[in-house]
Chain A
Amino acid sequence: MPNKLAAIDWRDASVAVAVMALGLTGVVLASRYSLGEMRNIGPGAFPMIVSVLILLAGGLIAIESVVMRREEGDDLSAEPVPYRVLLFVTAGLLAFALLTPVAGAVPGILACILLAAMADGSLRLWQVAVLAALVAGFCALVFVVLLKLPMTLVTW
Chain B
Amino acid sequence: MDNIALGLSVMLNLSTLGYCVLGVTVGMFIGVLPGLGPLATVGMLLPLTFYVPQTDAIVMLAGIYYGSMYGGSTAAILLNLPGTAGAAVTCLDGNPLAKSGRAGVALFTATLSSFFGGIFGLIVVASFTPLLASVALSFGSPEYASLIVLGLLAAAMVGNASKGKSLAMALFGLLLAMVGTDPNSGVDRMTFGLLSLADGVNLVVVTTGLFGIAEVLANVGRIGARDAQVARIRMRDMLPTAREARGAIFPALRGSSIGAILGILPGTGAALATFVAYAVEKRTSKTPDRFGKGALEGIVAPESANNSAAQTAFVPTLSLGIPGDAIVAIMLGALIIHGIVPGPQLIRDHPDLFWGLIVSFLIGNVVLLFLNLPLIGLWVRILRIPYAALYPAILVFICVGVFSIRSSVFDVAVATVFGLGGYVMRRHGFPTAPLLLGLVLGPLLEQNFRRSLMLSRGDLMTFVERPISGAILALTLLIIIFLLGSELRRRRPRGQLRKEGQR
Q: Residues of A with Cβ closer than 8 Å to B?
A: 11-12, 15-16, 19, 22, 26, 29, 33-34, 37-44, 46-47, 50-51, 53-54, 57-64, 68, 70-71, 73-77, 81-82, 85-86, 89-90, 92-94, 96-98, 100-101, 105, 108-109, 112-113, 116-117, 119-120, 122-123, 127-128, 131-132, 135, 139, 143, 147-151
Contacts and interface: CB of A to CB of B under 8 A. Distances in A.
Interface stretch (B117-125, B211-219, B310-318): B211-219
B409 A97 contact: yes
Main secondary structure, interface of A, reads helix
Contact of B220 (A16, A89, A93): A89
Contacts of B449: 41, 46
B314 to A, nearest CB: 26
Given A19-B168, A96-B396, A61 B162 contact: yes
Main secondary structure, interface of B, reads helix
26 contacts: A38-B458, A39-B454, A41-B453, A61-B168, A63-B164, A64-B163, A71-B495, A73-B495, A76-B427, A85-B220, A85-B221, A86-B423, A89-B216, A97-B409, A97-B413, A100-B403, A113-B393, A116-B392, A119-B220, A120-B387, A122-B386, A131-B389, A132-B392, A135-B396, A139-B396, A151-B403
A59 to B, nearest CB: 8
Contacts of A123: 388-389
B154 to A, nearest CB: 16
Given A61-B168, A63-B164, A150-B407, A75 B182 contact: no
A52 to B, nearest CB: 10
Interface in B44-61: 48, 51
Contact of A150 (B404, B491, B495): B404
Contact of B51 (A26, A40, A46, A147): A147
B48 A147 contact: yes
Contact of A47 (B168, B175, B400, B409): B175
A100 B383 CA distance: 32
Given A43-B184, A116-B391, A135-B396, A60 B164 contact: yes
B167 interface: yes
B175 A54 contact: yes
Contacts of A33: 182, 187, 189
A52 B384 CA distance: 49
Interface string B425-437: 0111110000000
Contact of A54 (B171, B187, B391, B458): B171
A17 to B, nearest CB: 12
A141 to B, nearest CB: 12
Contacts of A113: 392-393, 395-396
A119 B48 CA distance: 28
Interface string B365-400: 000000000000000000000111101110111111
Interface residues of B, number: 69
A97 B412 contact: yes
A112 B392 contact: yes
Nearest to B156: A57
Nearest to B52: A147
B190 interface: yes
Contacts of A42: 185
A51 B403 contact: no
Interface in B286-344: none
Contact of B167 (A44, A57, A75, A92): A57
B395 A92 contact: yes
Given A11-B428, A70-B162, A74-B502, A100 B51 contact: no
B128 interface: no
Contacts of B396: 96, 109, 112-113, 135, 139
B190 A29 contact: yes
A67 B303 CA distance: 36
